[in-house]
Chain A
Amino acid sequence: MMNEQRREFIKKTALGVLVGLGAASGLVPAFSLEKTVLPVWDEKPVPGKIRWGMLIDTRKCKEGCQQCAAACHHAHNVPDFRNKKDEIKWLWQNPYQKVFPTASQQFVSKEIQDRSYLALCNHCAESPCTKACPTEATFKRWDGIVAMDYHRCIGCRFCMAACPYGSRSFNWQDPRTAIHDPVTTYPTREQGVVEKCNFCSDRLVKGQQPACTEACPEQALTFGDLNDPRSDIRLLLEANETMQRKPELGTKPSVFYII
Chain B
Amino acid sequence: MIEKALKGNRSYWIWIAFLIAVIANGLSAYDQQRWFGLTVTGMGRDISWGLYIAQFTFLVGVAASAVMVVLPYYLHHQKEFAKTVIIGEFMAVSATLMSMLFILADMGRPDRLLNIMLYPSPHSMVFWDLLVLSGYLLMNLVSSWAMLGAERKGVPPKAWVKPLIYLSIPWAFSVHTVTAFLYAGMPGRHLWLTAVLAPRFLASAFAAGTALLILVSLILKRTTGFDTGNEARTKLAVLATYTGLANFFFLGTEFFTAFYSNVPAHKESLQYLFFGLEGKCQFVPLMWFSLISGVASIIVLLVPALRKSTPWLVGACSALVLSIWIDKGVGLILGGFVPSPLQDIVQYTPTATEIFVTLGIWGIGILLLTLLLKVVVAVKMEKEQ
Interface residues of A (CB under 8 A from B): 84-88, 94, 97-99, 101-102, 119, 128, 131-137, 152-158, 160-166, 169-174, 190-194, 246, 249-251
**Which 6 pairs, one residue from A and one from B, show the smallest C-beta to C-beta distance?**
A155-B108, A164-B188, A192-B108, A85-B44, A134-B126, A166-B341
**Contact of A166 with B342 in the complex, beta carbons under 8 Å:** yes
Indicate whether B261 reaches chain A with its CB closer than 8 angstroms: no
**Contact of A156 with B342 in the complex, beta carbons under 8 Å:** no
Within the complex, the shortest CB–CB distance from A167 to chain B, in Å, comes to: 8
Indicate whether B309 reaches chain A with its CB closer than 8 angstroms: no
Docked pose: A174 CA to B244 CA in angstroms: 44
Which B residues are in CB contact (< 8 Å) with A164?
186-189, 341
Indicate whether B89 reaches chain A with its CB closer than 8 angstroms: no
**Contact of A135 with B187 in the complex, beta carbons under 8 Å:** no
Q: Which of B33-41, B135-143, B372-380 contacts A (4 or more CB under 8 A)?
A: B33-41
B126 interface neighbour in A158, A190, A194, Cβ under 8 Å = A158
Given known pairs A102-B265, A166-B341, A173-B36, the reply for A152 and B125 (CB within 8 Å) is no
Within the complex, the shortest CB–CB distance from A161 to chain B, in Å, comes to: 6
Interface centre among B43, B44, B189, B342 (most CB of A within 10 A): B342
Docked pose: A71 CA to B113 CA in angstroms: 35
**Contact of A134 with B127 in the complex, beta carbons under 8 Å:** yes
Which residue from chain A places its CB closest to the CB of B344 in the assembled complex?
Answer: A98
**Contact of B189 with A131 in the complex, beta carbons under 8 Å:** no
Q: Which DSSP category, helix, strand, loop or mixed, fits chain B's interface?
A: loop
Which residue from chain A places its CB closest to the CB of B118 in the assembled complex?
Answer: A135
Within the complex, the shortest CB–CB distance from A79 to chain B, in Å, comes to: 12
**Contact of B38 with A154 in the complex, beta carbons under 8 Å:** no
**Contact of B37 with A191 in the complex, beta carbons under 8 Å:** yes
**Contact of B187 with A249 in the complex, beta carbons under 8 Å:** yes
**Contact of A171 with B108 in the complex, beta carbons under 8 Å:** yes
Within the complex, the shortest CB–CB distance from B378 to chain A, in Å, comes to: 28
**Contact of B121 with A119 in the complex, beta carbons under 8 Å:** no
Indicate whether B153 reaches chain A with its CB closer than 8 angstroms: no
**Contact of A166 with B115 in the complex, beta carbons under 8 Å:** no
Which A residues are in CB contact (< 8 Å) with B265?
102
B121 interface neighbour in A101, A133, A162, A250, Cβ under 8 Å = A133
**Contact of B121 with A153 in the complex, beta carbons under 8 Å:** no
B187 interface neighbour in A128, A134, A191, A194, Cβ under 8 Å = A128
Between A and B, 5 residue pairs with Cβ closer than 8 Å are A85-B44, A135-B112, A135-B116, A157-B49, A249-B188
Within the complex, the shortest CB–CB distance from A158 to chain B, in Å, comes to: 6
Docked pose: A190 CA to B37 CA in angstroms: 10
Docked pose: A170 CA to B39 CA in angstroms: 10
Those of B100-137 within 8 Å (CB) of chain A: 103, 106-110, 112-113, 115-116, 118-119, 121, 123-127, 130
Which B residues are in CB contact (< 8 Å) with A102?
265
Within the complex, the shortest CB–CB distance from B10 to chain A, in Å, comes to: 37
Docked pose: A135 CA to B183 CA in angstroms: 18
Which A residues are in CB contact (< 8 Å) with B37?
171-174, 191-192
Within the complex, the shortest CB–CB distance from A103 to chain B, in Å, comes to: 12
Given known pairs A154-B115, A157-B108, A193-B109, the reply for A172 and B121 (CB within 8 Å) is no
Which residue from chain B places its CB closest to the CB of A166 in the assembled complex?
Answer: B341
Docked pose: A132 CA to B124 CA in angstroms: 5
Interface centre among B49, B112, B123 (most CB of A within 10 A): B112
Number of A-B residue pairs with CB-CB distance less than 8 Å in the complex they form: 137
Q: Which DSSP category, helix, strand, loop or mixed, fits chain A's interface?
A: loop
**Contact of B187 with A97 in the complex, beta carbons under 8 Å:** no
Interface centre among A102, A134, A170, A173 (most CB of B within 10 A): A134
**Contact of A135 with B119 in the complex, beta carbons under 8 Å:** yes
State how many residues of chain B have any CB contact under 8 Å with chain A.
Answer: 43
Docked pose: A172 CA to B35 CA in angstroms: 11
**Contact of A94 with B108 in the complex, beta carbons under 8 Å:** no
Q: A85-B45, A134-B121, A164-B187 are in contact. List 7 more A-B contacts (CB 8 A).
A: A85-B44, A88-B45, A94-B342, A101-B343, A161-B186, A171-B37, A173-B37
Indicate whether B48 reaches chain A with its CB closer than 8 angstroms: yes
**Contact of A172 with B124 in the complex, beta carbons under 8 Å:** no
Which A residues are in CB contact (< 8 Å) with B108?
153-157, 170-171, 191-194
Which A residues are in CB contact (< 8 Å) with B342?
94, 98-99, 101, 119, 165-166
Docked pose: A192 CA to B189 CA in angstroms: 23
Given known pairs A99-B342, A161-B48, A169-B45, the reply for A156 and B107 (CB within 8 Å) is yes
Which residue from chain B places its CB closest to the CB of A246 in the assembled complex?
Answer: B188
Which A residues are in CB contact (< 8 Å) with B194?
none
**Contact of A85 with B343 in the complex, beta carbons under 8 Å:** no
Which B residues are in CB contact (< 8 Å) with A154?
107-110, 112-113, 115-116
Which A residues are in CB contact (< 8 Å) with B48?
157, 160-161, 170
Which A residues are in CB contact (< 8 Å) with B183?
161
Within the complex, the shortest CB–CB distance from A253 to chain B, in Å, comes to: 12
Within the complex, the shortest CB–CB distance from A3 to chain B, in Å, comes to: 20
Those of B173-208 within 8 Å (CB) of chain A: 182-183, 186-189
Which residue from chain B places its CB closest to the CB of A128 in the assembled complex?
Answer: B187
Indicate whether B254 reaches chain A with its CB closer than 8 angstroms: no
Indicate whether B227 reaches chain A with its CB closer than 8 angstroms: no
Indicate whether B46 reaches chain A with its CB closer than 8 angstroms: yes
**Contact of B126 with A166 in the complex, beta carbons under 8 Å:** no
Given known pairs A86-B45, A135-B115, the reply for A161 and B189 (CB within 8 Å) is yes
Indicate whether B282 reaches chain A with its CB closer than 8 angstroms: no
Which A residues are in CB contact (< 8 Å) with B344?
98
Docked pose: A193 CA to B110 CA in angstroms: 11
Which A residues are in CB contact (< 8 Å) with B127?
134
Which residue from chain A places its CB closest to the CB of B339 in the assembled complex?
Answer: A101
Docked pose: A94 CA to B343 CA in angstroms: 11
Indicate whether B340 reaches chain A with its CB closer than 8 angstroms: yes
Given known pairs A86-B45, A193-B108, the reply for A163 and B121 (CB within 8 Å) is no
Which A residues are in CB contact (< 8 Å) with B107?
154-156, 192
Which residue from chain B places its CB closest to the CB of A81 in the assembled complex?
Answer: B39
**Contact of B43 with A172 in the complex, beta carbons under 8 Å:** yes
